[in-house]
Amino acid sequence: MPENIYSRLYQAGDVIFRRGEPGEHAYFIERGAVDVIIEKEGDDVVIAKLGPGEIIGEMSMIDDAPRSADVIATAETELIVIQRSRVIKPLTSADPMMNLILRVVLTRFRNAQNRYSGLNVEGDKNNSSLEEIRAMAFQRIHDERDLLSALEAQEFRMHYQPIISLESGKIAGFEALMRWEKADGSFVSPGHFIPLAEHTGLIVELGRFALETSLGDQARFAEAFAKMNPGDTLPFMSTNVSGLQLSDLDEIDLIGGIIHKSGVPLDQVKLEITETLMVENPDHAAEALRKLKALGISLAIDDFGTGYSSLSYLHMFPLDTLKIDRAFVNSMDDTENSRRIVLSIVGLALALEMNIVAEGIETDAQQAKLQELGCHYGQGYYFAKPQSAKDALELINSGKTWQI
């Protein structure tokens, strides 16, 4: 193979790199053989003989320290260059604890190597990059500990945001939203603890809690609504389900068990699915959603129009409801493009005979326009903020309706 920026060819005796040089690249040995040499008490000592399939130069590339050994070809050797960006970019976005463990292992190996060479040098003691990684890892550990403690202390609560019929102005349902209220009365943002729960896997347990609690409250909501609105369709409860919950088909059976145990009629149960699940493993997602659909419940795709939205999802998966992302609704007053996008989404959903929920409605003008376009339901601060089960029950008992 001719030499280029992606491959290097060395003859026996050629120096590939020397100790003290910067570690700009690592190398994969395609063929040939090399010696790894360090200095001990003034003499060169071969500490490793490596061949095809091995990697050299990785330590300096990762921790940005100078090369700690010489590497010399002992036969005609072809190397494939591993670019620094190929490794550093994934490391930067990796879990801080895994990143820290890798750096600590490298540091301890270098220190052991230095001691073997007779050098009294302790590496990375004042490395600002390592300290930053260490701080991030410790913060993640503390956050995970707090999350586990909060789960044990039952600090999680369910709040409910009304979903309003844009035809009648009455409550059509609720979206269940999780809140973390700490012992001191302060709240932790879902934008902080939901990703953390997904990372740790605790989102599965939190998801079960959310479904059990919201369906328990739904039974009370439906009873109160029936008394206030005799003959009207009872409101539904829409609960978010994470991709991690649906990654295990056995978990779907457990979800079905929770729904059955609650006694809530299936036509009052709706599960909201994020697009991420559908993108990461479409075949598994299709199987998971078909299994959920077989339970007799409704399925909604949340935040449609952002991220990985694809029209193919709407016919690949058994979805009943499409939720228009608040980003488009919020900008309807300001940009013609947003209005056109919303019009297109509504038209598409209507053509597919799907229910449509517009999220993030904040103004009368937005509500009026969405109703004019044929959107079925609206949700947002214009109608009501998320509220406790007690307040949601009081809202139902007040008989409140909204002018449409």
Handedness of CA 367, 373, 377, 379 (dihedral sign): negative
Distance CA 153, CA 181 (A): 11
Which pLDDT belongs to residue 159?
98
Distance CA 379, CA 362 (A): 9
Residue 35, pLDDT > 80, answer: yes
Which pLDDT belongs to residue 3?
53
The predicted-structure confidence for 189-199, as pLDDT tens digits, reads as follows 999 999 889 88
Q: Which two tokens stand for residue 184?
A: 């001191």
Higher-scoring residue by pLDDT: 278, 358? 358
Handedness of CA 244, 247, 248, 249 (dihedral sign): positive
Runs of H (alpha helix) within 26-172: 58-63, 84-93, 96-116, 128-152
Query: What 8-state DSSP symbol labels residue 267?
Result: G
Distance CA 59, CA 66 (A): 9
Distance CA 167, CA 126 (A): 65
Q: With cut-offs at 50, 70 and 90, classify the pLDDT of residue 1.
A: very low
The predicted-structure confidence for 155-207, as pLDDT tens digits, reads as follows 999 999 999 999 999 999 999 999 999 989 899 999 999 988 988 888 999 99
3-state helix, strand, coil in the chain (%, to 5): 45, 25, 30
Question: CA angle at residue 278 from 252 to 162, to 5 degrees?
Answer: 70
Identify the weakest region by mean pLDDT among 7-11, 213-217, 261-265, 272-276.
Answer: 272-276
Distance CA 154, CA 199 (A): 20
Residues near 403 by beta carbon (within 8 Å), at least 6 away in sequence: 169
Higher-scoring residue by pLDDT: 277, 260? 260
The string of DSSP letters for 66-104 reads PP-SEEEESS-EEEEEEEHHHHHHHHHHS-HHHHHHHHH
Question: CA angle at residue 84 from 38 to 195, to 5 degrees?
Answer: 120
Q: Residue range 349-366: average pLDDT? A: 94
Distance CA 26, CA 55 (A): 7
Residue 90, pLDDT > 50, answer: yes
Residue type, 202: L
pTM of the prediction? 0.72
Higher-scoring residue by pLDDT: 295, 109? 295
Q: Residue range 131-149: average pLDDT? A: 78
Handedness of CA 191, 205, 308, 306 (dihedral sign): negative
Q: Residue range 225-232: average pLDDT? A: 93
Q: Residue range 316-321: average pLDDT? A: 89
Query: What 8-state DSSP symbol labels residue 402?
Result: -
The predicted-structure confidence for 65-77, as pLDDT tens digits, reads as follows 889 899 999 999 9
Identify the weakest region by mean pLDDT among 246-260, 272-286, 323-337.
Answer: 272-286
Closest to 391 in 3D by CA, of 129, 77, 179:
179
Which pLDDT belongs to residue 4?
57
